[in-house]
């Protein structure tokens, strides 16, 4: 009775709102079986404003304006690991035709080099939408005015001429290698990580040539395109010659397009091909291609898939030439991993025991320094597993970690010795409520799995109520209001406003 | 004179209903983005980008820069209130801001943060308007050697951050430096130290780690001392929303001015960014302060310095974007996208061909600062109320918020795990008297140091770090900054 008395009208409202939220989430109305019946999501592997992103947004824009599809196409950006994050994300989704991936040619080399679980075979390519030719770009304020100058200079420098661009083993890097081969020169590739950093370096004259796309010079007065690797001149850049005109058969471009998971129904792919063909003929699309200096070449499923087969072979050859198709890390024996983990766990256990029973002879500083030394050695062991070919123009990837490892060990040893000389901790920090903290940590680990299994919306209410209980907060209406209220608040902010799908749980979905 | 004409053009361009409305909306959203842990300025700007497609270019850019500016302020609110930097740029604000809250004076900290953010933002904008061309030249001259030296300079701040136990501070920072080597190698296409976990192949996601280190670490630590905390709470039931008096601000005008300029300059260097600026400003304020011993214990100067630098960096970051078309930070990369979408090509041409847009942005930044100030004033009372709520009610909510914030960034449960792991790490560190801020500093600077050290060694030789003037200057400053706390101690000991 007391329980019911304490519940007031606000609490009731919150409970009601929470219940209807759960109802809304878990009890979906019958979904229409006709494809498409809800928005199609295009996953983009880079941040908003990048080349692929702009293309995907343009496509979605044209489809919406011209009603090429009955449903909207929305863009979602998932960046990380050169696209692998986005690819994995699409593969984790149902193959129901509602999740598309915006793809670029760069994925081919990325997947070959990265050795992730994802493979190019996991996808079915719907179409290529446009071809963005590669270009070699120089700084206007140098003596390099044309292709001949570059060749002469390269021969004079005998392999020391510097070419730059973003990424090692990426499209631009491979274009550089291909160009050197065609021109019969030798040069040095330096990876400046990102396009903007490479452009900056070129502006500073740190390099002779930057390998990129024609769009990179937009708004930058002191950069000049020497040649583009396309069969014909670009309409928007009529003065810029192609390699072909200069006497070199060199075509290299970055195509961009769209793909599904390979399991997607052929009927859906047919539908998508129809929609995208319409887009590819739209005047607005053609104008957009002109603006970004790209060629609006449309290739449907069969054609692009065939092209990719050829390109995989070619990419493989050039990656081998760049000496980039190697395993850089040896697989470590399982026993060593187990030993490492056992040592770690026993150190952690020791720390917790010492903490719990206030064993003062083993003070925390000693334990912490031991943990750090273990961590450093663990990292060190992994650096010994690197196998880096010695003839690459790079510094050893183990060099900097090794620096930090040495420092960490040295400093931890000093700390340990200092702690030895001071066996009794004068003041033990926080000798209080360890049990509550450990309980909450266990609760949080449990919460982590509960989210995966029964979903965010139920798990979070339980978590908040449970922690309040541990912290001796016992006013039931307030517990209900704050836990359910928080879930409703986060639903509004994250799902409704920010369009992030919160996990609904494997058991209940 | 020409500049005044241009500013007038800009003023005309934004004096319409939509741009002004966008400033208000942008500031409001920006503060919210800053307050929510997990939503950094760049994510906030990126999220709003799609909403700007159907706006005219001026309104679109005004909205985005307003969000960018005010989210940098918003991050300080949670930093002060609950020791959780809402944005990476607010890490240094926790050092003294949260101490003030613990002392029952959150109003002082929030007020100082607001005032210095506003002034910092204004100074940054003025520098952007007046000196963008010469500063762009400085930015252009920053090569890998200088970036490396700047990173080293940033690291030396630990000697003054670490307080009474520098050894533990160094260990904590090396821990951060080592952890940030996990992930994609900077020169070869493979991932280091991932133990075969695919989620680690791009390294540890920074923001979940940050939330864990600060929010969860603090909560675990205070729950352990809950009984003590309860008593303190009872003793100081009334949290004061009182703002610092004007005289107080006047007394550290130099700190605010210096930090704003520092923030703008460092912010204008592509890739360096506002967060590093806040640390450097904090350090330099401490070194030049009359009461350096108050830093880390609730010094108002310690709040003013990072906050003015942080908001000053916004103006700075726009310099390379608008003059060179080079984005210097994650947020300006998204802004570059916005410019591209609206068919604007940043660069010198933009200044001459479309002064209404460039100067419209400048004027809107000034207005956004003023609007931010008023919203901030209204908000401060509300934040103090939240701070005064019982901890047993607030902590569970913060924990849940930390988790959803970590999840949000990549839609990844793995990041939630990262947040929890760093929370436990922070708790272990704290109870063994290790400071956690150096870990963050290591995480922030590690990549910049490694990338540029290795790039420099590939390009040239080791000696260039010492033969290039800016690099050498930065290295000398590093030595001075590293040893200054010890020299000061030595001198004061001798004086006694």
A35-46 pLDDT, tens per residue? 888 889 999 998
The pLDDT assigned to B3 comes to 83
B398 pLDDT band (50/70/90 cuts)? very high
**For a pLDDT cut of 70, what percent of chain B falls above it?**
97
Whether residues B428 and A167 touch (CB distance < 8 A) is answered with no
The pLDDT assigned to A76 comes to 85
Distance separating alpha carbons of residues B320 and B460, to the nearest angstrom: 26
B390 touches chain A (CB under 8 A): yes
Q: Which residues are registered as beta bridge partners of A259? A: A101, A125
Residue with tokens 């080399």: A109
Out of A31-40, B237-246, B359-368, pick the least confident: B237-246
**Of B36, B192, B433, which has the smallest distance from its Cβ to A397's Cβ?**
B192
Q: How big is chain A, counted in residues? A: 509
B215 touches chain A (CB under 8 A): no
State yes or no: pLDDT of B355 exceeds 60: yes
**pLDDT 10s digits, A322-361:** 888 777 777 767 777 788 888 888 877 877 776 666 665 5
Mean pLDDT of chain B: 88
**Of A168, A490, A500, which has the smallest distance from its Cβ to B189's Cβ?**
A168
Q: Please give the backbone phi and psi of residue B412, each rounded to the nearest 5 degrees, phi first.
A: -125, 125
State yes or no: pLDDT of A3 exceeds 60: no
How many angstroms away from the CA of B30 is the closest CA of chain A? 14
DSSP result, A230-267: SSS-BTTBTTPPBTTTTT-----EEEEEEEEETTS-HH
Q: Using DSSP, state whether A495 is helix, strand or coil.
A: helix
A63 touches chain B (CB under 8 A): no
**Nearest by Cα to B132 from B313, B319, B4:** B319
The pLDDT assigned to B22 comes to 94
Buried-exposed string A343-380: b where 16+ CB fall within 10 A, e elsewhere: eeeebeebbeebbeeeeeebbbbbbbbbbbbbbbebbb
The 3-class secondary structure across chain B, one letter per residue, is CHHHHHHHHHHHHHCCHHHHHHHHHHHHHHHHHHHCCCCCHHHHHHHHHHHHCCCCHHHHHHHHHHHHHHHHHHHHHHHHHHCCCCCHHHHHHHHHHHHHHHCCCHHHHHHHHHHHHHHHHHHHHHHHHHHHHHHHHHHHCCCHHHHHHHHHHHHHCHHHHCCCCHHHHHHHHHHHHHHCCCEECCCCCCEECCCCCHHHCCCCCHHHHHHHHHHHHHHHHHHHCHHHHHHHHHHCCCCCCCCCCHHHHHHCHHHHHHHHHHHHHHHCCCCCCHHHHHHHHHHHHHHHCCCHHHCCCCCHHHHHHHHHHHHHHHHHHHHHHHHHCCCCCHHHHHHHHHHHHCCCCCCHHHHHHCHHHHHHHHHHHHHHHHHHHHHHHHHHHHHHHHHHCCHHHHHHHHHHHHHHHHHHHHCCHHHHHHHHHHHHHHHHHHHCCCCCHHHHHHHHHHHHHHHHHHHHHHHCCCCHHHHCHHHHHHHHHHHHHHHHHHHHHHHHHHHC
Whether residues A395 and B170 touch (CB distance < 8 A) is answered with no
Which of the 8 DSSP states describes residue A295? Answer: B
Whether residues A47 and B333 touch (CB distance < 8 A) is answered with yes
Mean pLDDT of chain A: 87
Can you tell me the mean pLDDT for B372-390? 89
What the block records as the tokens of B446 is 């590690």
The pairing of beta strand A99-104 with beta strand A40-44: parallel
| List of chain B residues whose C-beta atoms are within 8 Å of the C-beta of residue A495 | none
- Within chain B, what is the greatest distance between any pair of CA atoms? 69
How many angstroms away from the CA of B153 is the closest CA of chain A? 17
B476 touches chain A (CB under 8 A): no
**Nearest by Cα to A75 from A50, A98, A53:** A53
**Of A448, A452, A493, which has the smallest distance from its Cβ to B420's Cβ?**
A448
What the block records as the tokens of B128 is 């952007």
Interface of B with A in 66-125 (CB under 8 A): none
Can you tell me the mean pLDDT for B403-407? 91
B228 touches chain A (CB under 8 A): yes
Distance separating alpha carbons of residues B486 and B491, to the nearest angstrom: 9
Interface of A with B in 214-273 (CB under 8 A): 218-221
State yes or no: pLDDT of B52 exceeds 80: yes
Distance separating alpha carbons of residues B136 and B145, to the nearest angstrom: 18
Whether residues A400 and B53 touch (CB distance < 8 A) is answered with no
A449 pLDDT band (50/70/90 cuts)? very high
**pLDDT 10s digits, B244-265:** 787 888 888 899 999 999 999 9
The radius of gyration of chain A from alpha carbons, rounded to an integer in Å, stands at 30
Burial class (CB in 10 A: 0-12, 13-18, 19+), A248: middle
User: Number of CB pairs < 8 Å for A and B?
Assistant: 273
Q: Which of A470-484, B66-80, B240-254, B317-331 has the highest mean pLDDT?
A: B66-80
Out of B38-52, B274-288, B456-470, pick the least confident: B38-52
Whether residues B181 and A372 touch (CB distance < 8 A) is answered with no
**pLDDT 10s digits, B171-211:** 999 999 999 999 888 888 788 888 878 788 888 999 999 99
**Of A115, A395, A451, which has the smallest distance from its Cβ to B187's Cβ?**
A395
| List of chain B residues whose C-beta atoms are within 8 Å of the C-beta of residue A53 | 337
| List of chain B residues whose C-beta atoms are within 8 Å of the C-beta of residue A414 | 167
Question: Which segments within A27-147 are labelled E, that is strand?
Answer: 40-44, 73-77, 99-104, 123-133, 135-139
Distance separating alpha carbons of residues A103 and A45, to the nearest angstrom: 8
Beta-carbon contacts of A441 under 8 Å, excluding residues fewer than 6 positions away, are B220, B420, B424
The pLDDT assigned to B432 comes to 86
Distance separating alpha carbons of residues A387 and B192, to the nearest angstrom: 12
State yes or no: pLDDT of A430 exceeds 50: no
Higher pLDDT, A377 or A501: A377
The pLDDT assigned to B160 comes to 76
**Of B168, B223, B348, which has the smallest distance from its Cβ to A437's Cβ?**
B223
- HSE (side-chain half, CA atoms, 13 Å) at A300: 12
What the block records as the tokens of A285 is 């699309």
Higher pLDDT, A274 or A358: A274
State yes or no: pLDDT of A89 exceeds 50: yes
Burial class (CB in 10 A: 0-12, 13-18, 19+), B4: exposed
Optimal mutation site among B44, B146, B177, B192, interface A, most CBs of chain A within 10 A: B192
Interface of A with B in 71-110 (CB under 8 A): 75, 77-78, 80-81, 84-85, 88-89, 110
B116 pLDDT band (50/70/90 cuts)? very high
Minimum Cα–Cα distance from B136: chain A residue = A200
A112 touches chain B (CB under 8 A): no
């Amino acid at each position: 009775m007391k329980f019911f008395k304490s519940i007031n009208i606000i609490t009731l409202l919150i409970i009601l709102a929470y219940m209807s939220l759960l109802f809304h989430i878990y009890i979906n109305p019958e979904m229409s079986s006709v494809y498409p019946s809800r928005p199609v999501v295009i996953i983009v592997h880079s941040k908003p404003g990048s080349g692929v992103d702009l293309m995907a947004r343009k496509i979605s824009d044209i489809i919406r304006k011209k009603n090429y599809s009955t449903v909207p196409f929305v863009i979602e950006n998932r960046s990380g690991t050169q696209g692998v994050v986005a690819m994995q994300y699409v593969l984790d989704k149902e193959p129901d035709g509602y999740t598309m991936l915006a793809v670029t040619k760069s994925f081919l080399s990325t997947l070959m080099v990265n050795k992730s679980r994802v493979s190019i075979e996991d996808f079915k390519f719907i179409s290529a939408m446009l071809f963005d030719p590669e270009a070699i770009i120089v700084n206007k304020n140098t003596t390099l005015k044309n292709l001949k100058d570059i060749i002469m200079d390269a021969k004079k420098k005998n392999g020391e001429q510097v070419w730059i661009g973003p990424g090692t083993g990426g499209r631009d890097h491979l274009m550089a290698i291909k160009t050197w081969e065609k021109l019969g020169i030798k040069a040095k590739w330096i990876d400046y990580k990102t396009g903007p950093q490479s452009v900056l370096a070129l502006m500073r004259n740190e390099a002779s040539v930057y390998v990129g796309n024609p769009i990179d010079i937009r708004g930058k007065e002191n950069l000049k395109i020497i040649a583009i690797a396309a069969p014909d001149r670009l309409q928007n850049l009529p003065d810029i010659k192609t390699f072909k005109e200069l006497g070199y058969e060199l075509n290299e471009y970055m195509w961009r397009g769209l793909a599904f998971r390979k399991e997607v129904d052929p009927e859906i792919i047919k539908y998508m091909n129809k929609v995208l063909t319409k887009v590819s003929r739209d005047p607005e699309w053609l104008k957009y291609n002109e603006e970004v200096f790209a060629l609006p070449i449309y290739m449907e499923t069969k054609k692009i898939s065939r092209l990719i087969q050829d390109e995989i072979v070619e990419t493989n050859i050039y990656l081998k030439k760049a000496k980039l198709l190697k395993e850089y890390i040896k697989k470590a024996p399982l026993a060593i991993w187990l030993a490492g983990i056992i040592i770690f766990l026993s150190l952690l256990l020791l720390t917790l025991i010492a903490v719990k029973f206030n064993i003062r002879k083993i003070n925390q500083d000693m334990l912490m320094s031991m943990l750090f030394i273990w961590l450093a050695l663990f990292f060190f062991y992994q650096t010994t597993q690197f196998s880096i070919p010695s003839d690459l123009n790079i510094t050893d990837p183990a060099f900097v970690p090794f620096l930090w490892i040495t420092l960490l060990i040295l400093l931890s040893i000093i700390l340990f010795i200092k702690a030895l000389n001071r066996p009794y901790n004068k003041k033990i920090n926080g000798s209080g409520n360890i049990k509550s903290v450990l309980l909450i940590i266990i609760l949080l680990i449990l919460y982590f799995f509960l989210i995966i299994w029964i979903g965010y919306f139920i798990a979070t209410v339980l978590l908040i109520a449970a922690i309040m209980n541990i912290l001796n907060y016992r006013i039931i209406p307030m517990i209900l209001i704050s836990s359910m209220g928080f879930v409703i608040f986060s639903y509004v902010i994250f799902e409704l406003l920010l369009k992030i799908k919160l996990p609904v749980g494997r058991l209940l979905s | 004179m020409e500049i005044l004409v241009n500013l007038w053009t800009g003023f005309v361009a934004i004096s319409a209903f939509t741009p002004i409305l966008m400033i208000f909306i942008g500031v409001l959203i920006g503060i919210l983005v800053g307050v929510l842990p997990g939503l950094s300025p760049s994510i906030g700007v990126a999220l709003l980008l799609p909403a700007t497609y159907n706006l005219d270019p001026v309104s679109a850019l005004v909205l985005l820069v307003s969000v960018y500016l005010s989210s940098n302020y918003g991050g300080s609110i949670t930093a002060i209130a609950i020791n959780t930097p809402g944005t990476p740029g607010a890490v240094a604000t926790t050092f003294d801001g949260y101490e003030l809250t613990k002392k029952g004076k959150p109003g002082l900290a929030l007020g100082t943060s607001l005032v210095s953010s506003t002034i910092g933002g204004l100074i940054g904008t003025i520098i952007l308007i007046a000196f963008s061309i010469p500063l762009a030249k400085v930015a252009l001259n920053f090569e890998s050697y200088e970036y490396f030296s700047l990173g080293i300079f940033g690291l030396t701040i630990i000697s003054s951050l670490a307080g009474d136990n520098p050894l533990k501070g160094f260990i904590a920072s090396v821990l951060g430096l080592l952890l940030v080597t996990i992930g994609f190698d900077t020169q070869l296409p493979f991932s280091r130290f991932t133990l075969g976990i695919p989620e680690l192949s791009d390294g540890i996601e920074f923001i979940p780690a940050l939330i864990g280190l600060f929010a969860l670490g603090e909560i675990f630590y205070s729950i352990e001392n809950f009984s003590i905390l309860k008593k303190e709470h009872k003793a100081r039931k009334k949290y004061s929303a009182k703002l610092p008096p004007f005289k107080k601000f006047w007394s550290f005008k130099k700190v605010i001015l210096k930090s704003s300029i520092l923030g703008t300059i460092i912010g204008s260097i592509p890739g360096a960014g506002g967060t590093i600026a806040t640390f450097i400003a904090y350090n330099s304020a401490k070194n030049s302060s009359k009461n350096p011993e108050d830093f880390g214990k609730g010094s108002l100067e310690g709040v003013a310095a990072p906050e003015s630098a942080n908001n000053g960096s916004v103006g700075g970051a726009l310099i390379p974007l608008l003059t060179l078309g080079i984005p210097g930070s994650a947020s300006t990369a998204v802004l570059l996208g916005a410019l591209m979408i609206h068919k604007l090509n940043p660069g010198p041409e933009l200044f001459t061909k479309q002064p209404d847009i460039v100067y419209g942005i400048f004027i809107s930044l000034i207005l956004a600062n003023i609007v931010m100030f008023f919203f901030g004033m209204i908000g401060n009372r509300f934040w103090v109320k939240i701070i005064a709520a019982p901890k047993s009610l607030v902590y569970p909510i913060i924990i849940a918020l930390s988790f959803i914030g970590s999840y949000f960034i990549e839609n990844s449960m793995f990041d939630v795990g990262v947040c929890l792991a760093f929370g436990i790490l922070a708790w272990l560190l704290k109870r063994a008297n290790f400071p956690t801020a150096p870990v963050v500093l290591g995480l922030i600077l590690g990549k910049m140091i490694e990338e540029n050290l290795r790039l420099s060694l590939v390009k040239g030789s080791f000696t260039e770090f010492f033969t290039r003037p800016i690099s050498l200057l930065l290295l000398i400053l590093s030595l001075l900054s590293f040893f200054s706390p010890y020299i000061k101690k030595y001198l004061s000991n001798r004086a006694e």
